[in-house]
Amino acid sequence: MNLGISIPMYNEEGNAERVISRMLSHLDSLDISFVLAVVNNGSSDATGVVLDRISARDKRVIPIHLEQNQGYGGGIQAGLKSLMTYRPEIIGWSWGDGQVCATSISSLYQKCVAGADLAKTHRIERQDGYRRRIISSLYARGMRRMGTRTPDINGCPKLFRWSFFEQLQLESHDWFLDAEAILKAEKMGGTIHNEPAIMEPRASGESKVRLWTLVEFAKNMTRWTFKRY
């Protein structure tokens, strides 16, 4: 197995078909074996029905249904757990909202094959609303204060070489998962590749990022700081 990607979806009924179909089409062009673990993260709409329909057409799409929402990181972790049995050479996660084009995966995958421990996007143009721009800016400031050298810590997709990913032992089940991955990767001296990407506007639905996300992130940064010392 060459590639395994976890994709969390929460109330993405309007995006699921388009996002997964585009990803399947792109990955097919790479001529590699892959599995997509798509997580219906406690959705209250028909996201799960759409995922089951896609899986019936293509068994490389594994639908995972969580009765209750497990948070951003929890959804990703559920998908990653299901991918463990495949032991893919490259493993990682992406978003289910369609805001980053699927074509970025090919370049990230090739960078990992060439030796990068972690390859991710760095969004150079974004379509965020005012609230999310403020939150993202505060995220970035907080991470710089913690000494990270990596731009756009939340940029996705994120792909890892399996041998490196195993060593990270990621624990977060909330919005801190991306930050934890970057902080641990840097601490371990991993090679991190950042691929410029243009963020696309949402075709349907709304962002799940809220002001509470910032409070949660601040708590995690404080916990991480004390954990280091």
CATH number, domain of 27, equals 3.90.550.10
Task: Report the 3 state secondary structure along the chain.
Answer: CCEEEEEEECCCCCCHHHHHHHHHHHHHHCCCCEEEEEEEECCCCCHHHHHHHHHHHCCCEEEEEECCCCHHHHHHHHHHHHHHHHCCCEEEECCCCCCECCCHHHHHHHHHHCCCCEEEEEEEECCCCHHHHHHHHHHHHHHHHCCCCCCCCCCCCEEEEHHHHHHHCCCCCCCCHHHHHHHHHHHCCCCEEEEEEEECCCCCCCCCCCHHHHHHHHHHHHHHHHHHC
pLDDT confidence of residue 143: 73
The mean pLDDT value for 138-150 works out to 76
Contacts of 59 (CB under 8 A, 6+ apart): none
Q: What is the pLDDT of residues 20-63, one digit of tens each?
A: 999 999 999 988 999 999 999 999 999 999 999 999 999 999 99
Q: Which residue has the higher pLDDT, 142 or 186?
A: 186
N residues, the chain: 229
Total tally of structural domains belonging to the chain = 1
CA distances from 135 to 73, 194, 211 (A): 18, 21, 7
Contact by Cβ (8 Å): 159, 120: yes
Domain that holds residue 212: 3-228
- Residue 195, pLDDT > 70, answer yes
